[in-house]
A and B are shown apart, each in its own frame.
Chain A
Amino acid sequence: MNVFEVMGPVMVGPSSSHTAGAVKIGYIARQLLRDDVANAEILLHGSFLATGVGHGTDRALVAGLLSMKPDDERIPDSFSYARDAGMEYSFGGVELRHAHPNSALLKLQGKNGNKLELVGSSIGGGAINIDKIDGLDANFAAIYPTLIIHNVDEPGHVADIATFLEKYSVNIATLKLSRDNRGGRAVMVIECDQEVPLELIEKLRQKKGILKVSYLSMED
């Protein structure tokens, strides 16, 4: 752990894992949706379900979906902010397989029609992991600018995309590949040292065999 993972974050209490981490999961989901949330189905797993209410996990997730950050003092009142913003939400429980005890499955619909299904877990001290996106393994910490690319599982995509990134001087920090055996789909998670230019993301979206490109920026 880094010094500032031990000390900090500045957050609204009571729990770094059940409150701050939950806000962050909601916030990252909202970023990846690229749309204001119209409707959110929030399904809690494990300890999030068991003790989440007392820790404000429910209000924290909704706050994050409204783009609030973990130190936002409006978090305790996020339900009324959601009402004002015209965001509907519902809660439920879910049993996720092989998931961290502090996990949530979010099914989101945006005001412009964008859709996203995301599983995120709060792994301690306010740190999170995004486990799945739209049913496919993603597994990233949301601390770097991150590209998530769903593509048809066929050769060539990795090399192409690496070349693309190089052309735009984006340095790859980590690259993870996984595939969905059933559908012939694969997902590439690329953590980058620099922000990825929008122009490049648009180009990727138009490439043949690419099904979906999500991008998590670290800029506010």
Chain B
Amino acid sequence: MKGMGIKMSFRALQEIIDISEKTGKKFWEVIMENDMNERAVSREDSFQKMYMLYEAMRNANDNYDKKLMSCSGLVGGDGEKVRIALEKGNLIGGPFVGETISKALKMGENNACMKRIVAAPTGGACGVLPAVLLTYEEQMNVDKDKMVEAMFVASGIGVVISVRAFLSGAAGGCQAEIGSASAMAAGALAYLQGADNEGIAHACAISFKNLMGLVCDPVAGLVEVPCVKRNAGGAVIAIAAADMAVAGVRSQIPPDEVIDAMREVGEQIPRTLRETGEGGIAATVTGDEIAKRVLKHTPIL
């Protein structure tokens, strides 16, 4: 009875590619048109809404406060440290990678410090996409429309992941959060670097294969340790995956099957490693001590 348009999420990256090939429309356009149908909105509305999200990412990045620490005292100031080191020329990865790491940390810290961010796809993984996209725009001199198109590419990949697998650490471990964000970013970067549909999908697959099995083990259950630093790792893997795909490297396992594998792995990850704060980094001696200290300071009852 819903009169709001047809609800139909993409079930496969191949489905997006098939439509693109049949209609001659670009990967990002197929995704945008799906949104237009679903929400019964115009091209301008859909594009504008995505543009606003991109601008919100930029604002969040600009509003980073290097002096701010999270309530627990565990995170803050690291994005600034990397920026300074980059400025001094002390980083191995060069300007693109260095800036990406700095921005990823900053956004993760913003999130932990209760500042405004864009969940992409989640709060915990909110640093990956803006880190690569804002850095790309700054350093590669592309126009803003192209960046918004890349955002659609990333979102479309995310939709497929949400349908075939999951996007939350509680459901599938960190591979579903940072892993998904990285796969989305890899596809977006590949698109920006001129990859065709196949290249976009394979960038996504290669990135996922590098983060498969990553567990969700936040200390004291907070989205801080190891989450913030994983945003940097996820962003750098996205760059590596996109570079491989652009160079013509292909995943031997088709991208949709790789996403299925992520789901299967996620289903086998024990509960203690799915956002409960009871395993992995959270369950180390120090992790445990921190949890006791943090929770003592903020009693709810």
Q: Which residues of chain A have a CB within 8 Å of any CB of chain B? A: 1-17, 19-20, 44, 47, 49-56, 58-59, 71, 73, 75-76, 91-93, 101, 124-126, 171-174, 193
Nearest chain A residue, comparing its CB with the CB of B294: A54
B231 to A: closest C-beta gap in Å: 12
Query: 19 A-B residue contacts at CB 8 Å?
Result: A1-B158, A1-B167, A2-B9, A3-B31, A3-B152, A3-B158, A4-B39, A6-B159, A12-B116, A12-B117, A14-B111, A15-B123, A17-B168, A20-B123, A51-B277, A56-B114, A91-B300, A171-B1, A171-B3
Q: Spot the interface stretch: B87-95, B219-227, B241-249.
A: B219-227
- C-alpha spacing A189/B140, complex, angstroms: 52
Is B300 touching A52 in the complex (CB atoms < 8 A)?
A: yes
The answer to whether A50 and B158 touch across the interface, beta carbons within 8 angstroms, is no
A interface footprint on B1-32 (CB within 8 Å = 1, 0 otherwise):
11110000100000000000000000000011
A2 touches B2 (CB 8 A): no
Q: Which chain A residue has the least Cβ–Cβ distance from B36?
A: A3
Question: How distant is the Cα of A15 from the Cα of B171 in the complex, in angstroms?
Answer: 15
> Looking across the interface, which residue of chain A has its beta carbon closest to that of B291?
A54
Cβ of B253 within 8 Å of any chain A Cβ, yes or no, is no
Given contact pairs A10-B116, A124-B168, A124-B170, enumerate 13 new A-B contacts (beta carbons under 8 Å).
Answer: A4-B53, A4-B155, A8-B120, A9-B119, A11-B118, A13-B110, A14-B114, A15-B122, A51-B221, A53-B300, A54-B298, A93-B301, A101-B170
**Contact A126/B119 with A7-B154, A54-B222 known, Cβ cut-off 8 Å:** yes
Q: How many A-B residue pairs have CB under 8 A?
A: 158
Selected from A2, A9, A75, A91, the residue in CB contact (under 8 A) with B38 is: A2
Does B49 sit at the interface, judged by CB under 8 A?
yes
Q: Is B50 part of the binding interface, using a Cβ–Cβ cutoff of 8 Å?
A: yes
B residues with CB within 8 A of A: 1-4, 9, 31-32, 34-35, 38-39, 49-50, 53, 56, 70-72, 110-124, 126, 151-152, 154-156, 158-159, 162-163, 167-168, 170-171, 220-224, 277, 294-295, 298-301
Say yes or no: B223 contacts A55, CB within 8 Å: yes
B116→A54 contact, CB < 8 A: no
Measured in the bound complex, the distance between the Cα atoms of B121 and A3 in whole Å is 10
Task: Determine whether the beta carbon of B53 is less than 8 Å from that of A10.
Answer: yes
Contact partner of A53 among B167, B168, B223, B298, CB < 8 A? B298
Q: Chain A residues near B53: list those with CB within 8 A.
A: 4, 7-8, 10
Residues of B within 8 A of A76 (CB): 114
Q: Which residues of chain B come closer than 8 Å to A171, judged between CB atoms?
A: 1, 3
Tell whether, in the assembled complex, residue A173 and residue B1 are in contact, meaning their CB atoms are under 8 Å apart: yes
Contact between chains at B301 and A13 (CB < 8 Å): no
What residues of B have a CB within 8 angstroms of the CB of A56 in the complex?
Answer: 71, 114
Q: Please, which residues of chain B bring their CB within 8 A of the CB of A75?
A: 114
Are B221 and A13 in touch, CB under 8 angstroms?
no
Pair A2/B159 contact, Cβ less than 8 Å: yes
Cβ-neighbour of B4 out of A12, A14, A173 (below 8 A): A173
| Contact with B1, one of A6, A44, A50, A172 (Cβ below 8 angstroms) | A172
Q: B224 near A3 (CB under 8 angstroms)?
A: no
- Per a CB cutoff under 8 Å, which of B124, B223, B300 touches A58? B300
A125 to B115, CA, bound (A): 17
**Docked CA distance A51–B117 (Å):** 21
Residues of chain A lying within 8 A (CB to CB) of residue B162: 1, 5-6
Q: Which of B1, B113, B277 contacts A174 (CB 8 A)?
A: B1
Q: Which of B70, B124, B155 has the most CB of A within 10 A?
A: B155
CA distance A59 to B294 in the complex (A): 17
Q: Could you tell me the distance in whole angstroms from the C-beta of B30 to the nearest C-beta in chain A?
A: 11
Specify the chain B residue showing the minimal Cβ separation from A71: B116
Question: Is the CB–CB distance between A44 and B35 below 8 Å?
Answer: no
> Who on chain B is nearest to A76 by CB?
B114
Residues on A with C-beta less than 8 A from B170 are: 17, 47, 101, 124
Please state if B123 and A11 are interface contacts (CB–CB under 8 Å): yes
B300 and A13 form a contact (CB under 8 A):
no
When distances are taken between beta carbons in the complex, the residues of chain B under 8 Å from A59 are 114
Q: Across the A-B interface, give the 3 residue pairs with the lowest CB-CB distance, nearest first.
A: A13-B111, A51-B221, A6-B158
Report the Cα distance A125→B39, complex, angstroms: 19
CB-CB under 8 A from A55, the residues of chain B are 221-223
Most A CB within 10 A of own CB, among B9, B119, B170, B221: B119
Contact partners of A53 in chain B: CB under 8 A: 295, 298-300
**Given A19-B114, A54-B298, are A13 and B151 also a contact pair (CB < 8 Å)?**
no
Cα separation A16 to B156 with both chains bound (whole Å): 20
